[in-house]
Amino acid sequence: MFTIITGSQFGDEGKGKVVDLLADKYDLIVRFQGGDNAGHTIIHAGEKFKLHIVPSGILAQPRLLIGPGVVMNPEILIREIEMLSENNIVITPERLGIDAKTSIIMPYHIQLDELGEATRSEKIGTTKRGIAYAYMDKIARDEVQLSDITDEKRFKKRVSEVLPQKKNLMRSLGKAPETDEKKWVNKYVGVGRKLKPYLTDVSHEVNDALSDGKKVLAEGAQGTYLDIIHGTQKYVTSSSTIAGSACTNIGIGPKRVTSVIGIVKAYITRVGEGPLPTELHGETGDRLRDRGGEYGTTTGRPRRCGWFDFPLLRKSVNLNGYTEIVLTKLDVLTGLKPIKVCHAYKYKNKKFEYPPHESIDTCHPCIGRT
C-alpha cells in the first residue's frame, strides 16, 4: 500500500498532525520534497518540539526516510536529532535513512537567498533557508549531494569546482563573499561523518517494501499552491508540492500509488507574499489567527487568514487526484457567526467556479453563508 499526503492549500493545513495520527499504520514514512522551510510541531511528554527536516511520525514506530528530492541543511538535521535524543527520542540509522543523492543546502545558498530577497523590487517573503538556490544548483547540475559530504576528498573537490561561480554571483548582488571557507568546509566534513551511517537508497527501500506488501506513506511539505509549476508564481516555493511529485522524487512508478489524501483546513492561510482572494484584513482574520495559532513554525511570521476557498480546492482535487480528504481545524471556527465560504470568483465581470487560467491575482471572492 502506498499513500501520498499533500497540503491542498498554501501549506500549514495540518499535514504533520495527520501523519502523526496515521503513522502507526505504516512501515515507512518518506519525506519527498522541500527542506527546512517546512515546520511541524510535536508534543511529547508535555514538551513541544519544532521539527523542520526530520519526517513526521517520529513518536510512532515506522522507519523514516528522507528522499533524494529533498534539499537538506545537514546542520539543522543534526541539531534536530540531538535535541530529540536529549529528550529520550533516540534516532538511530535503523530509525532514519537519508538518500545518498539528497541535495545539501550549503552556507552560500542561505546567503544568496537573503541577498536575493534584499535586492528584489517585489519580495516573495521566502523563509531564507536557501531553498530556491539549492534547487537551482540541482537543475544547473552544480548541487552537492549527501554522498559528497560523507566523503571528505570528494566534497573538497566539489566545493573547489562550484565555489568560484557562487562568489561571482554574490559579488554581482553586492556582497563580498567570505574569504575563509575552510571553517565551514571542515564543519560540513564533520557533519558528513556523523550522517554517513544514515545513507541509503530510498527508491530501492520503498520499492522493496511495497513488493513485500508493506505500507508506505509519502509526506509532502508545503501546499498545492506553492507548487513550482502549478502554484501562484512567483509566490511559490521551488519544489513540486503536488502528489505526482512523490513518485518522481522518491523514484517509484505511478501505478504503485494506492491513495492520495488531501489535507484541507476549514479556512485558508498563507505565509509570505502572493495572492489570497479570500483574505480577511479585519477582526475576523485576527480571530482566526489567534484561535488557530496561525504563526509560521519556521519563521514565526503571522499567517494571513481568510475564508474557505472552494475554487482553489476544486483545482487542488484535480492537481493531486485526491481519493480522500481530511478536514482540519474546524474547531477554530467555533463561535463565529456567520461562517462564510467562497464558492466562486468574480473576474473580469464573469463568475468562475474554477480558478481562471490567467491568474488569481485580481479575482474577487463570491462569498456565501453557511
Active site residues: 12, 40
DSSP element (H, E) containing 64: strand 63-66
Residue 238 as a binder of ligand IMP (CB under 6 A): the answer is yes
Cell 527508491, residue? 203
Q: How far is CA 22 from CA 16, 59, 175, 331, in A?
A: 10, 11, 47, 20
251 vs 272, beta carbon nearer ligand IMP: 272
Which of 7, 35, 39, 365 forms a contact with Mg ion (CB under 5 A)? 39
CA distance 58 to 68: 20
Q: Is the peptide bond before 157 cis (omega within 30 degrees of 0)?
A: no
Q: How far is CA 17 from CA 7, 43, 44, 90, 362, in A?
A: 12, 10, 13, 20, 33
3-state secondary structure of 127: coil
Cell 528584489, residue? 120
Residue 340 as a binder of ligand IMP (CB under 6 A): the answer is no
Residue 271 as a binder of ligand IMP (CB under 6 A): the answer is yes
Q: How far is CA 41 from CA 47, 135, 222, in A?
A: 10, 25, 14
12 vs 148, beta carbon nearer ligand IMP: 12
271 vs 288, beta carbon nearer ligand IMP: 271
Residue 51 as a binder of ligand IMP (CB under 6 A): the answer is no
3-state secondary structure of 138: helix
Residue 240 as a binder of ligand IMP (CB under 6 A): the answer is no
Q: Which residue number places its CB atom closest to ligand IMP?
A: 272
* Binding flags for ligand IMP, 111-130, as an x/- string (CB under 6 A): -------------xxxx-x-
Residue 222 as a binder of ligand IMP (CB under 6 A): the answer is yes
3-state secondary structure of 101: coil
Which of 5, 11, 150, 310 forms a contact with ligand IMP (CB under 6 A)? 11
Stretch that binds Mg ion, among 54-62, 88-96, 274-282, 294-302 (CB under 5 A): 294-302
CA distance 365 to 347: 9
Cell 561523518, residue? 193
CB of 123 to ligand IMP, least distance (A): 9
Q: Interface residues with ligand IMP (CB under 6 A)?
A: 11-12, 37-39, 124-127, 129, 131-132, 221-222, 226, 235, 237-238, 271-272
Q: Interface residues with Mg ion (CB under 5 A)?
A: 12, 39, 297
